[in-house]
Amino acid sequence: MTSNRRTFAIISHPDAGKTTLTEKLLLQGGAIHLAGEVKARGAARRARSDWMKIEQQRGISVTSSVMTFERDGVTFNLLDTPGHEDFSEDTYRTLTAVDSAIMVIDAAKGIEPQTRKLFEVCRLRSVPIITFVNKVDREGKPVFDLLDEVADTLALDVSPQSWPIGMGGVFEGVLDFGTDTISRPEGPSKEFLGKREADVELAGPMAEEVELARHGYPEFDIEAYRHGDLTPVYFGSALKNFGVTELIDAIARFAPPPRPQPSEAGPIEPTRDEVTGFVFKVQANMDPQHRDRIAFMRMVSGTFKRGMKLIPSGLGKPIAVHSPILFFAQDRELADTAEAGDIIGIPNHGTLRVGDTLSEKNQVRFTGLPNFAPEILRRVQLKDPTKTKQLRKALDDLSEEGVIQVFYPEFGGQWIVGVVGQLQLDVLISRLSAEYKVEASLEASPFATARWLKGSPEAIKGFEEFNRANLARDRDGDPVFMAKSAWDVGYQQEKNPDITFGATKER
């Protein structure tokens, strides 16, 4: 049986229209009834939490969530990725839990830096991408230029599935190549209200343009798309509702159902009977008074039932999952099963960590959920030296959650935190103070990056003897080389060919 689940994320640069598109997708799926609710709900959520002051100050969303909706028998799981410029490991990891992605591009701006970074993460895992060129109701770049830009900057075949008939002041609608109909703007708001015109006769330069568009690009090829080599491109306006239905249909028809996931013993198929899954995100309780957390598990196989016992790989003994959070559309809130592709939120008190596998038999270990070599390293300076113990606990907790990475140097007492985005540091300081009552500041560290050491125990030991000043242990006690520069890494790698200096670490 082919699964009817589509688990996906939207990747984009801030302001391209991700929130607006999310709203419209949810509206179409009947998951929410009022436009604006996504943002409103976000605001209410933010107000509840102290440490999320940062979100308010910067007007961004630090936390990801899961939105589920249904349409024509297909269940869509949309995983939200923080959309701010300064992204974090959370975003990377969320992308390990999806089977496909929608890339939203602003028609006036083309490919922006954040889009590109996120795209690269998708490419690492061959996550197939559907492109949505948004805001065609406004003046944008010439359409051919936009397509060339996607193809050239991302080294991807592009296959337009629709075409904007004019943009901005001369916008007349979107021509869908699949059905050969034009969706037209209507009324004073110039929105798409459902009027599709068939048997369209285009004239003059527009006829030529469309002719070129239809024949000048590779045909859509589902295999090439699913391999991540080709992207179908849709044009539309999230704000004015153009192209949204076509986009949902495209996900339903083309986007892959739950894919097999890599494990130590080879790929685990979604059809496996046993319930298996992995934790891709841990979120602390929004209420700082409560120590409990929610672990977000992506289901890889099996059918999960409320109350089921699962064994976390980090623990080795079963835990009963009595009050899982199942993210369903309104009418399904009481449903209590989940299957491959779904996300379950599991409340726990710190037992579950990012990267953990959960399974019924404890025979599977998923791989591929990496820690990334931090690009920013800072020394943590305590304001009150008697709080060392609390600080250690906080750093351990927060690194388990994936907020930061922590490194304990072999020499010297000052602990080092590493992140891939500046914002993670702000979150750290704010949470240390709000939740752990630890006042700390961050100072420059002599190190520029970190590399996980892999090799035979003898090789590692030999290396350690000569490099103590540059050695640290991570949260799991694994050895890490703290490098002063990229050059340093290259130099050591050359001198120690039997050791690998890993830029990522998989748990």
Which x/- pattern over 6-25 shows residues binding ligand G4P (rule: CB under 6 A)? ------x-xxxxxxx-----
Closest contact distance (angstroms) between CB of 84 and ligand G4P is 8
17 is in an annotated binding site: yes
Answer yes or no: is 14 a known binding residue: yes
The minimum distance between CB 304 and ligand G4P, in angstroms, equals 31
Is 12 annotated in a binding site? The answer is yes
| Residue 80 marked as a ligand binder | yes
- For residue 340, CA distances in Å to 177, 250, 433, 462 come to 33, 21, 39, 45
Sole residue written with tokens 């388990």:
400
Site string for ligand G4P, 19-58 (x = CB under 6 A): xx--------------------------------------
Annotated binding residue 134: yes
Between 111 and 483, name the residue whose CB sits nearer to ligand G4P: 111
Site size toward ligand G4P (CB under 6 A) is 17
Nearer to ligand G4P, 244 or 432 (CB): 244
Q: Restricting to residues 232-251, name those near ligand G4P by CB under 6 A.
A: 237-240
Question: Which CB sits closer to ligand G4P, 183 or 470?
Answer: 183
Q: Are 484 and 436 in contact (CB under 8 A)?
A: no
Tokens of 240: 């004015």
Which string of b and e fits 240-278 if b means at least 16 CB within 10 Å? bbbbbbbbbbbbeebbbbbbebbbeeeebebeeeebbbb
- Binding to ligand G4P (CB under 6 A) within 156-185 occurs at none
The residues pairing with 366 across neighbouring beta strands, listed in sequence order, are: 263
Which residue of 82, 83, 258, 355 would you call a contact of ligand G4P, by CB under 6 A? 83
Please, which residue, 39 or 454, has the CB nearer to ligand G4P?
Answer: 39
Segment 307-312 long-range contacts (CB within 8 Å, at least 24 positions apart):
308/275, 308/360, 309/360, 310/275, 310/358, 310/359, 310/360, 311/358, 311/359, 311/360, 311/361, 311/362, 312/279, 312/351, 312/352, 312/356, 312/357, 312/358
Nearer to ligand G4P, 187 or 316 (CB): 187
Residue appearing with tokens 């491109």: 233
Residues 308 and 9 sit within 8 Å (Cβ to Cβ):
no
Nearer to ligand G4P by C-beta: 238 or 380? 238
Minimum CB distance to ligand G4P, residue 5 (Å): 25
Write down the least CB distance from residue 24 to ligand G4P, Å: 9
C-beta of 60 vs 319, nearer to ligand G4P: 60
Which residue type does 74 have? V
Lookup: tokens for 164: 């904007």
Name the DSSP class of 404: -
In DSSP terms, which residues pair with 242 in a beta bridge?
237
What is the footprint of ligand G4P within residues 133-152 (CB under 6 A)? Answer: 134-135, 137-138
Closest contact distance (angstroms) between CB of 280 and ligand G4P is: 21
342 marked as binding residue: no
What are residue 297's DSSP bridge partners?
A: 279, 344
Closer to ligand G4P by CB, 143 or 300: give it. Answer: 143
- CB count within 10 Å of CB 204 equals 7
Q: How many helices (H) and strands (E) does the chain have?
A: 13, 30
Q: Round to whole Å and give the CA distance between 362 and 311.
A: 6
Cβ contact 363:273 at 8 Å? no
Determine, following the binding rule CB under 6 A, whether residue 276 of this chain makes contact with ligand G4P: no
Piece of the chain touching ligand G4P by CB under 6 A; list 85-93, 130-138, 402-410, 416-424: 130-138
Closest CA to 350 of 407, 392, 398, 280: 398
CB of 42 to ligand G4P, least distance (A): 10
Other CB atoms within a 10 A radius of the CB of residue 389 amount to 9
115 annotated among ligand-binding-site residues = no
**Binding-site positions for GTP:** 12-19, 80-84, 134-137
Binding residues vs ligand G4P (CB under 6 A): 12, 14-20, 83, 134-135, 137-138, 237-240
Provide the annotated binding site. 12-19, 80-84, 134-137
